[in-house]
Structure 1
Amino acid sequence: MKILVTGGAGFIGSAVVRHIIKNTKNSVLNVDKLTYAGNLESLKSIEQSKQYSFAKVDICDSQALKDVFFKFKPDAVMHLAAESHVDRSITGPSDFIQTNIVGTYTLLEVAREYWNSLEADKKTAFRFHHISTDEVYGDLPHPDEVKGEKELPLFTEQTAYAPSSPYSASKASSDHLVRAWLRTYGFPTIISNCSNNYGPYHFPEKLIPLVILNALEGKALPVYGKGDQIRDWLYVEDHARALYKVVSEGLVGETYNIGGHNEMQNIEVVNTICTILDELVPKKSRYSEQITFVNDRPGHDRRYAIDSSKMSKELNWTPAETFETGLRKTVQWYLDNQTWCNNVQDGSYQRERLGELNIQFQKG
Structure 2
Amino acid sequence: MIMAEKYFIIGSNSFSGASFVDFLLKQGHSVMGASRSDELHKAFLPYRWNGKDADFRFYKYDLNKNLEEIVSLVKNEKPTFVVNFAAQGMVAQSWEYPDHWFMTNVVSTIRLHDRLRHFDFLNKYVHVTTPEVYGSTDGFIKEDIPFNPSTPYAVSRAAADMSLKTFFDAYKFPVVFTRAANVYGPGQQLYRIIPRTILSILTGKKLQLHGGGHSKRSFIHFRDVASATHKIATQGIPGETYHISTNEIVTVRELVEKICQKLDADFDNCVEVVGERLGKDAAYMLDSSKIRQGLGWKDEVSLDEGLEDCIEWVQSNLGDLRDMHWDYVHKP
Length-normalised TM-score, structure 2:
0.91
Cα distance in structure 1, aligned partners of 2:320 and 2:152: 30
Partner of 1:10: 14
Partner of 2:321: 341
Does structure 2 retain, via aligned residues, the 8 Å contact 1:2–1:28?
yes
Partner of 2:115: 110
Cα gap change, 1:65 to 1:40, in 2 (>3 Å): farther
Deviation by residue 1:166-199 (Cα, 9 ceiling, x = unmatched): 1111111121121111112221111111111111
Partner of 1:361: none
Partner of 1:302: 282
Counterpart code for 1:139: S
Cα gap change, 1:103 to 1:262, in 2 (>3 Å): farther
Cα distance in structure 2, aligned partners of 1:99 and 1:320: 34
Cα gap change, 1:227 to 1:33, in 2 (>3 Å): same
Counterpart code for 2:279: G
Counterpart code for 1:175: D
Partner of 1:146: none
Counterpart code for 1:67: S
Identity value in percent? 27
Cα distance in structure 1, aligned partners of 2:96 and 2:198: 25
Cα RMSD (Å): 2.1
Partner of 2:24: 20
Does structure 2 retain, via aligned residues, the 8 Å contact 1:9–1:40?
no
Partner of 2:214: 228
Secondary structure (helix, strand or coil) at the match of 2:141 reads coil
Secondary structure (helix, strand or coil) at the match of 1:271 reads helix
Partner of 1:150: none
TM-superposed CA distance for 1:229, in Å, is: 0.7
Counterpart code for 1:305: M
Partner of 2:80: 75
TM-superposed CA distance for 1:89, in Å, is: 1.5
TM-superposed CA distance for 1:66, in Å, is: 1.9
TM-superposed CA distance for 1:103, in Å, is: 2.5
Cα distance in structure 1, aligned partners of 2:326 and 2:254: 25
Cα distance in structure 2, aligned partners of 1:2 and 1:333: 29
Partner of 1:45: 49
Partner of 1:139: 136
TM-superposed CA distance for 1:46, in Å, is: 5.6
TM-superposed CA distance for 1:65, in Å, is: 1.4
Counterpart code for 1:291: V
TM-superposed CA distance for 1:233, in Å, is: 0.9
Q: Which has the larger radius of gyration?
A: 1
Cα distance in structure 1, aligned partners of 2:217 and 2:170: 35
Cα gap change, 1:315 to 1:48, in 2 (>3 Å): closer
1:319 is matched with which residue: 285, 296, 299? Answer: 299
Aligned length: 322
1:237 is matched with which residue: 217, 223, 226? Answer: 223
Partner of 1:177: 163
Partner of 2:127: 130
TM-superposed CA distance for 1:352, in Å, is: 7.9
Does structure 1 retain, via aligned residues, the 8 Å contact 2:259–2:307?
yes
Does structure 2 retain, via aligned residues, the 8 Å contact 1:134–1:155?
no
Cα distance in structure 2, aligned partners of 1:330 and 1:196: 14
Does structure 2 retain, via aligned residues, the 8 Å contact 1:20–1:26?
yes
Length-normalised TM-score, structure 1:
0.83
Counterpart code for 1:13: G
Secondary structure (helix, strand or coil) at the match of 1:256 reads strand
Which consecutive unaligned segments of at least 5 residues does structure 2 have? none
1:166 is matched with which residue: 152, 156, 168? Answer: 152
Cα distance in structure 2, aligned partners of 1:62 and 1:296: 37
Partner of 2:201: 215
Counterpart code for 1:351: D
1:31 is matched with which residue: 34, 42, 45? Answer: 34
Cα distance in structure 1, aligned partners of 2:99 and 2:201: 32
Secondary structure (helix, strand or coil) at the match of 2:140 reads coil
Cα distance in structure 1, aligned partners of 2:328 and 2:110: 32
Partner of 1:144: none
Cα distance in structure 1, aligned partners of 2:320 and 2:141: 35
Cα distance in structure 2, aligned partners of 1:49 and 1:204: 24
Secondary structure (helix, strand or coil) at the match of 2:294 reads helix
